[in-house]
Chains A and B, each alone.
Chain A
Amino acid sequence: MSTVTPDPEFSLRPSGNLARRLLISRAAQGGAVIAAALAVVILLILIGFTVVHGIGALSWSFLTGNLPAATGQAGGIGPALLGTAELALIAGIISVTLGILTALFLTEFASPRVAAPVAATLDVLAGLPTIVAGVFVYGIVVAHFGESGIAAAIALSMVMTPLVARATLESLRRVPATWRDAAAALGVSHWRTVLTVILPGAASGITTAAILAVARGAGETAPLLFTSALYGNNVQLNPLHALPNLPLEIYTLIETGYPVSVQMAWGAAFLLMMTILLVNIVARIGLRRGERKRGL
């Protein structure tokens, strides 16, 4: 048997310039790995600092107490927690309704000629700087009626609606066309198909979108700057008045610069960030589960 001796002419070791090319390739791949690692490290550092600085501020009185009565004083963030929850709720209702309707409009009801400009408008709205949303609502609402939770929620929903609409659009498009066809073949009317086949088929995607949008809205500051900034230091639940809220409270606490205020800002930042990150994680895992269950 003679085939075992390798023929040196056909060696499979790197030949010619290959050693150098492999080195370049490995360096480039290493760079990509480092970039990814760096991003994760940055995330961990951001979370780490917030946890380290913020966790010490947490206490029952901090969570439930009224806001500091004057700058530089100690206090709690209870009213801001409630206000942010209320703002997120109102803005969530507005943006989920509008977002779903717009997505349905684009996929189910509009002819391509009408859908194109609406979709483009949606894109523009998604790219709208959040501060401009605040300026806009200031001009059309606050300038006439003063600051209010409603005004702030409108500004927030301008940021959130495109998010809901886009994600819903994506989920609707992923509903298999065969389901729709099957319903149509059974003679089911269009609106019934939409309500009983298409929307439920996209339910997990829409739910995730709604949750993520609310989480995003809860952390937005710029839309609140001119719409719900002049709030008192105790609980306010009437949406016709400016509502205390976490993002602006953090923003102003830092600006004052007093150590006690900055300490409070860290505590509030810790709460806000952790809640939003947790909601994000849970929503994403839920989405993946839901999709896997339906075999998408």
Chain B
Amino acid sequence: MRRMSALSPAPPLSGPAQERARRARLRLTDLRASRTLTVLAWIGAAVIVITMGSVGFQVIRGASEAIGRFGPLFAFHAAWIPNLNKLGGLSYLYGSLVTSLVSLVFATILGVSIGIFLALLAPRPVANVIGPLVEMLAAIPTVVLGLIGIIVISPFSAHTLEPLFHGVLGWTGLFGAPAQNGASLFTASLVLTIMVLPIISALSRDIFRTVPQELRDGAEALGATRWEMIRGVVLPTTVSGITGACVLGFARAMGEAIAVTQVVGNASLIHANLFFPGTTLASAIANQFESPQNSLTESALYYLALILLIVGVLTSIVSRRIISRGAKLT
């Protein structure tokens, strides 16, 4: 208001003409401000969309040489010999899938249990302390997790867990002799579990809390135990949401580069032994992208990034679908 009168040098006579002029100016300011804000918001959204679009464009363009040379079968060739221009992504894809799936299994079992505890068992004050503590795991910088992974988790994995698994399940071939320093697919899976766990536990807690109290009461009023109520009513009504949470956790595990690179051993091998070094898509990029041996290798690394990108986009679409479908049901 004060600004308005400052703009108008004329004394504030209260004639109808002045009033009309004042209103018109006000309307003009309103119009300008509203336009500015709208334009800014559109720009913000446009930047997001354009960025995402150019990520896709950039990665595809970078990968085009490798795509042209190897075609879609790139993902199914294991050899990675840059000198000979023999490049295939299978060993990376394999390592990514194995580490992500193993960590997903651990994180789902633990995370869903934690979600059950936080949403259905613990008194609110307890849940309000434990919940944020678990979420704190997600705040630990990945490079720090990698450091702890190298110095603490790797030896633990190689010298404590491996004999344990080997003793019981050695015949499966999944738990063979460990590498000396403990760098292995399994160690990477453990580190990933720590990263994925807070995602799954927080999401599943929130999902479990959406189950109406009336449904839970209805189950308990029929003489069901707590666990029967959870298994018979809560889990079936939330299964799609939990699946969505797992898909998000899987995506997180696939995309992690740093901590995995630190502990996975970075050997482009394909083998069943979880306690042996391996490699992943993201860690291949982290290790080699800085100084690729030749342009074809660089392009192949872009190709690996493209695979990661496709996995990321797909998982985000899938989890969105699943979660929104679940929301519709309840």
A selection of 30 A-B contacts at a CB cut-off of 8 Å is A36-B130, A39-B110, A40-B134, A43-B134, A46-B140, A98-B47, A102-B47, A105-B45, A109-B38, A109-B42, A110-B45, A120-B317, A121-B48, A124-B316, A125-B48, A125-B52, A129-B257, A130-B256, A132-B285, A132-B312, A135-B285, A136-B58, A161-B48, A165-B48, A191-B37, A195-B37, A219-B139, A219-B141, A222-B258, A272-B143
- Let me know if A102 and B44 touch, CB within 8 A: yes
- Let me know if A128 and B55 touch, CB within 8 A: yes
Any chain B CB within 8 A of the CB of A180? no
Any chain A CB within 8 A of the CB of B28? no
Expressed in whole angstroms, the Cα–Cα distance for A291 and B288 within the complex equals: 47
- Let me know if A128 and B309 touch, CB within 8 A: yes
Besides A45-B152, A191-B38, A247-B141, 15 other CB < 8 A contacts? A28-B226, A36-B118, A39-B197, A43-B136, A46-B137, A49-B151, A101-B45, A110-B41, A121-B52, A135-B289, A139-B59, A194-B37, A219-B141, A221-B257, A280-B136
Known contacts A101-B45, A226-B289, A132 near B134 by CB under 8 Å? no
Known contacts A35-B113, A135-B59, A189-B30, A126 near B316 by CB under 8 Å? yes
Any chain A CB within 8 A of the CB of B254? yes
- Let me know if B51 and A158 touch, CB within 8 A: yes
In the complex, what residues of A have CB within 8 A of residue B315's CB? 127
B interface residues with partner A (beta carbon < 8 Å): 30, 33-34, 37-38, 40-45, 47-49, 51-52, 54-55, 58-59, 61-62, 109-111, 113-114, 116-118, 121-122, 130, 132-134, 136-137, 139-148, 150-152, 194, 197-198, 201, 225-228, 230-231, 248, 251, 254-258, 262, 282, 285-286, 289-290, 301-302, 305, 308-309, 312-313, 315-317, 320
Most buried by A among B37, B41, B49, B145: B41
Known contacts A33-B117, A118-B49, A273-B144, A131 near B282 by CB under 8 Å? yes
Expressed in whole angstroms, the Cα–Cα distance for A130 and B312 within the complex equals: 11
Known contacts A40-B130, A109-B38, A254-B150, A101 near B144 by CB under 8 Å? no
Nearest to B226 among chain A residues (CB) is A25
In the complex, what residues of B have CB within 8 A of residue A33's CB? 117, 121
Any chain B CB within 8 A of the CB of A106? yes
Expressed in whole angstroms, the Cα–Cα distance for A35 and B112 within the complex equals: 9
- Let me know if A39 and B134 touch, CB within 8 A: yes
CB distance from B103 to the nearest CB of A (A): 13
In the complex, what residues of A have CB within 8 A of residue B130's CB? 36, 40
- Let me know if A118 and B45 touch, CB within 8 A: yes
Expressed in whole angstroms, the Cα–Cα distance for A121 and B114 within the complex equals: 31
In the complex, what residues of A have CB within 8 A of residue B228's CB? 21, 25
- Let me know if A105 and B286 touch, CB within 8 A: no
